[in-house]
Structure 1
């Protein structure tokens, strides 16, 4: 064998050995596998960043659109360590780690700047530490799941009285049932992958989600009306099995930490841009957009917030809702 061929063969053997020894990182998310999906665009950026910074010692394998497992199963996988990383929405997180349901308190944040400041500050850090201690799941931070709005295929909804008799899909955590029922509608938990079918078949009249998810899952095809009430700033949390994380080298941990930050910026920016242009985007999709005045939003807040707070306090105590209120108040005070 020539020296050139021998060198080529040696390089191939080293590359194969390196690939075989790479740490497999299964990364699950629930949006479609295209670059218009904030979750997927962020996931691809994370993959490129981590594999580059670790010279391939971590092999990131992305499973979009719920391909790896359902949302509750993904949370179980993170606890057990069978799934290394996932970006998961509020409902399944609240079902596994109940204090997260405090973030379902409706009509709380004024805008994205406030919501990000609270979640990036001491409140978010303390919650991440508590989640890690209680579940073995490491929360690096959160990105936007969109400002949640109500949609339905029956009538215009501008005030709580218009919700009477509607059947609405909610995420799989009891706090969301409480929110919808406090406004006079009936609530049916439906897993995210099953939602388009449930709307098409008339199992439910409507649902509540941000613009990104309404467009990404083509929910507008079976929903005529969207009410821009912005009842909850919803989140996608960047989660990792702590058993996997602690098995990384210091350099690999640094790479993961840095690359999550990059993914979050991409994810937040894409989702926030869609929320800011909700009326135009959804109108173009054929939906009738129903604006909500400050006076009407106050009606929604008065109907929903006490019931949801009572439920959350009954589930997790007053500690986390009180801490969230304090963080919001501190943010507002910082601008006085």
Structure 2
């Protein structure tokens, strides 16, 4: 009798186990995250870590599939897909977001930020949160900011150590009005161009110069077509992690909390990796043949003075109150740290 019961129970138990596995699989919500950078870049590594952390923090309820290197389209295309609910998440530089939310131009103001600590304080504080909240007006949820880094100038013509050395250089900028106007004011021939066309344009000498953070310069092998690198630190470039509001609204409260917490944990990892790699990559770029230069404090001040009209112009567009709030916070930081924030 017992043997007969066991015989009948076996298929029942097997069916229950299969049902349990199916239910568990159904409870896992897989999200699609896209970004535009190579996987070996700090952003690419941070995105993979984000996926690991999210699965752990959500207790396995949320998984994430990462699509690097513009596999899902350009940054602008991915932002549009996230707004439409076709794509769940995008990690993008803030510049294309500024075409839809003008306040994001704040991050493009030249020489606004001087140190990593200042960047972290501004992005992770009330001002950064205010801009994240504005994403809701575009059917997105702003989760947190990651790091692209301070932007530097490379060129194939000459060593840039003064304001005059920039004069006449055909310099590619992002398709962003602040960058275009700023480099025109500095005497360069600013040429807006999609990033995907940049390497070929430098290789064919259609342009002489470009500006990007060190990790971008290295990972895209710009040293093959450029000869000089100048550490201008003319702007700090953040990434922003944006989620489709349509996807967000499908999540439970605990899952939403896990999303934000995981974004912040991955942010801390990604920023640390970016800063560690930047120091290492500068040495590698020198070994690859790039001549490395820095601007003296007096030359940096000359550049600052030259672009003041541009800062004034875009302050009015961004909103004077927001810009003044950011500048006031940074001035307080510098004062409290003796000018070394």
- TM normalised by structure 1 equals 0.91
Question: Aligned with 2:157: secondary structure?
Answer: coil
Q: Quick one: distance in 2 between partners of 1:244 and 1:228?
A: 41
1:23 aligned partner = 29
Question: Aligned with 1:207: secondary structure?
Answer: strand
2:214 aligned partner = 211
Structure 1, gaps ≥5 residues long:
none
Q: 2:326 aligns with which of 305, 324, 327?
A: 324
1:185 aligned partner = 188
Question: Aligned with 2:232: secondary structure?
Answer: strand
Deviations 1:290-321 (A, max 9, x none): 121111111111112x1331331343332222
Question: Aligned with 2:113: secondary structure?
Answer: coil
1:64 aligned partner = 68
Asked if the contact 1:152/1:226 (under 8 Å) is kept, the reply is yes
Asked if the contact 2:136/2:245 (under 8 Å) is kept, the reply is no
Q: Does 1:93 align with 2:66?
A: no
Q: Quick one: distance in 1 between partners of 2:139 and 2:80?
A: 11
1:222 aligned partner = 225
When residues 307 and 277 of structure 1 are mapped into structure 2, their CA distance, relative to the original with a 3 A threshold, is: farther
Deviations 1:207-254 (A, max 9, x none): 101111111111221111111111011111111122221221112112
Asked if the contact 1:24/1:59 (under 8 Å) is kept, the reply is yes
1:315 aligned partner = 317
Deviations 1:184-214 (A, max 9, x none): 1122222223322222232321110111111
Q: Does 1:141 align with 2:144?
A: yes
Asked if the contact 1:123/1:327 (under 8 Å) is kept, the reply is no
Q: Quick one: distance in 1 between partners of 2:321 and 2:138?
A: 18
When residues 161 and 250 of structure 1 are mapped into structure 2, their CA distance, relative to the original with a 3 A threshold, is: same
2:114 aligned partner = 110
Matches within 5 A, 1:219-258: 219-258=222-261
| Bigger radius of gyration among the two | 2
When residues 20 and 285 of structure 1 are mapped into structure 2, their CA distance, relative to the original with a 3 A threshold, is: farther
> How far off is 1:8 after superposition?
5.4
Q: Quick one: distance in 2 between partners of 1:56 and 1:197?
A: 43
Structure 2, gaps ≥5 residues long:
1-6
Q: Quick one: distance in 2 between partners of 1:12 and 1:308?
A: 65
Q: 1:335 aligns with which of 329, 334, 337?
A: 337
Q: Quick one: distance in 2 between partners of 1:253 and 1:80?
A: 19
Question: Aligned with 1:109: secondary structure?
Answer: coil
- TM normalised by structure 2 equals 0.90
When residues 160 and 6 of structure 1 are mapped into structure 2, their CA distance, relative to the original with a 3 A threshold, is: farther
Count residues in correspondence: 332
Q: Quick one: distance in 2 between partners of 1:225 and 1:140?
A: 37
1:173 aligned partner = 176
Question: Aligned with 1:169: secondary structure?
Answer: strand
Q: Does 1:275 align with 2:278?
A: yes
When residues 314 and 3 of structure 1 are mapped into structure 2, their CA distance, relative to the original with a 3 A threshold, is: same
> How far off is 1:281 after superposition?
3.2
Question: Aligned with 1:52: secondary structure?
Answer: helix
Q: Quick one: distance in 1 between partners of 2:279 and 2:115?
A: 10
